[in-house]
Amino acid sequence: MTDKKPFTFKYEKPDSLFPTPKTPVKRVPFKDIFSPPPSLEVPPTFHRLISKGDFFEVYLNKNKNKEDNAEYTAVKKSIFTFKNDLEKESILREVHFLKLINSDFVIKFINNWILNQYVYIEVEYCSYGTLREFMNYIYFTLKSKFSKEIKNKIIKEIGLGLEAIHKLKIVHLDLKPENIFLKSHNNGEDNLIIDDVSAFTIKIGDFNISRFENEEIGMDGDKRYMAPEVLNGICTRKSDIFSFGLIYLEILNEIILPTGGEKWVDLRKGNLKGMVLEGPIKKMLNKDYKKRIDCETMLKEIL
């Protein structure tokens, strides 16, 4: 017998307790970009809807190709159809980035296709859900905290995934716990021993607003994790470091970041009074991106 507590996502969490602001939509209204979707039946391999955002809905898909020994994959289906090649290429940017990145700590690309002007992107399925769900379960359901070993694993593996992304000069631009996933090592859907560091791997996903460094960007990321320079349209890999620093701070201090107001401004001014700090957090949250630590240097301090 073991006294370790299993972690399951079958618990229902009230929306008011765990508010998760959606990533803001682009500045151009949807109605001016996409045509309304016609009726389309869900493919028979789609087992159930996992989640739905502003751009995509994600389905659990019965895996036909068993070479990777995975029973299920996840398929992102665009909510809106594209009207021309420019719109299609915009939606397919995520596919381009996923094909480029080869890391154990980034969601694995499997396939993509187009059907009735909908874009489908198939990726590996992470049955333990998102880091946000894990945090909510630990903090609010169990009223507990991460063990030091789990905390170190999360930070280390986010860092290794980000390193692989940044080596290709890709800027994620929406790094947050909702876009970080836990991949099971036993193909189970439900139970995770919450203090077992060997039970899962951290994976960074959702590259739908990512860009190459110095490309033009919009204000599309989640403002809870948005770096100050992004507000000025600057696209730099250092912005992801700032977002990562806030995730690090959130986990270390067991807090939920503000969506606005005085505390939001304080974080972007480098005012960390009263916060527990360790490792390179202060260097990651430098308000001047030119003085902010880079991923390679950061990893040397946390590994």
Q: Are residues 178 and 230 in the same domain?
A: yes
159 and 258, same domain (yes or no) = yes
Do 119 and 152 reside in the same domain of the chain?
A: no
Instruction: Give the pLDDT of residue 302.
Output: 87
Q: Which structural domain range is residue 216 located in?
A: 131-302
CA 15 – CA 12 distance, rounded (Å): 9
Q: Is residue 276 part of a domain?
A: yes
169: left (phi over 0), alpha (psi -120 to 50) or beta: left
* Mean pLDDT calculated for residue range 168-194: 84
Q: What is the mean pLDDT of the chain?
A: 82
Task: Tell whether 154 and 297 lie within a shared domain.
Answer: yes
CB neighbours of 148 closer than 8 A, spacing ≥ 6? none
Count: domains in the chain? 2
8 A C-beta contact, residue 227 and residue 30: no
Nearest residue to 213 (alpha-carbon basis) of 168, 160, 163? 168
In a domain, 232, yes or no: yes
Residues 140 and 243 in one domain: yes
Look-up: residue for tokens 């001047």? 288
Do 101 and 141 share a structural domain? no
Query: Do 167 and 268 sit in the same domain of this protein?
Result: yes
**Which domain-ending residue is among 124, 147, 180?**
124
**194 lies in some domain:** yes
Which range of 11-15, 80-84, 155-159 scores highest in mean pLDDT? It is 155-159
Strands (E), the chain: 6-7, 46-52, 56-62, 72-78, 109-115, 118-124, 170-171, 180-184, 192-193, 200-204, 211-212
If one counts every other C-beta atom within 10 angstroms of the C-beta of residue 152, the result is 15
Q: Six-digit token pair at 36?
A: 């309304």
Residue 4 belongs to some domain of the structure? no
What is the pLDDT at residue 277? 83
Query: Are 143 and 255 contained in the same domain?
Result: yes
For residue 177, give both structure tokens. 């716990």
Structure tokens at 18: 């765990």
The whole-number average pLDDT for the span 185-200 is: 73
Same domain, 191 and 136: yes
Q: State mean pLDDT over 253-281.
A: 82
Q: Which of 211, 210, 241 is nearest to 228 (CA)?
A: 241
Per-residue pLDDT at 2? 44
Across 38-66, average pLDDT: 77
Q: How far apart are CA 142 and CA 158, in angstroms?
A: 24
Q: Tell me, what amino acid is at 219?
A: M
CB 73 within 8 A of CB 112: no
* Separation of alpha carbons 6 and 10, rounded Å: 11
Last residue of a domain, one of 100, 124, 148: 124
Asked if 281 and 251 count as a contact pair (C-beta separation under 8 A), the reply is no
Helix axes 238-253, 148-167, angle to 10 degrees: 170
CATH number, domain with residue 118: 3.30.200.20
The answer to whether residues 237 and 139 belong to one domain is yes
**Cα–Cα distance between 124 and 72 in angstroms, integer?**
8
Helical ranges in 92-173 per DSSP H: 93-100, 131-136, 148-167
**Are both 160 and 288 inside the same structural domain?**
yes
The residue to which tokens 């994790």 are assigned:
225
Of the three residues 99, 124, 149, the one that is the final residue of a domain is 124
Q: Are residues 226 and 274 in the same domain?
A: yes
Query: Phi and psi for 134 in degrees, rounded to 5?
Result: -65, -45
C-alpha 193, offset from chain centre: 22
Average pLDDT in the 260-279 region? Answer: 81
Is residue 297 assigned to a domain? yes
Residue 16 domain flag: no
Is 5 contained in some domain? no
Q: What is the mean pLDDT of residues 26-47?
A: 49
* CATH number, domain containing residue 279: 1.10.510.10
* pLDDT average, residue stretch 90-102: 94
Inside any domain, residue 151:
yes
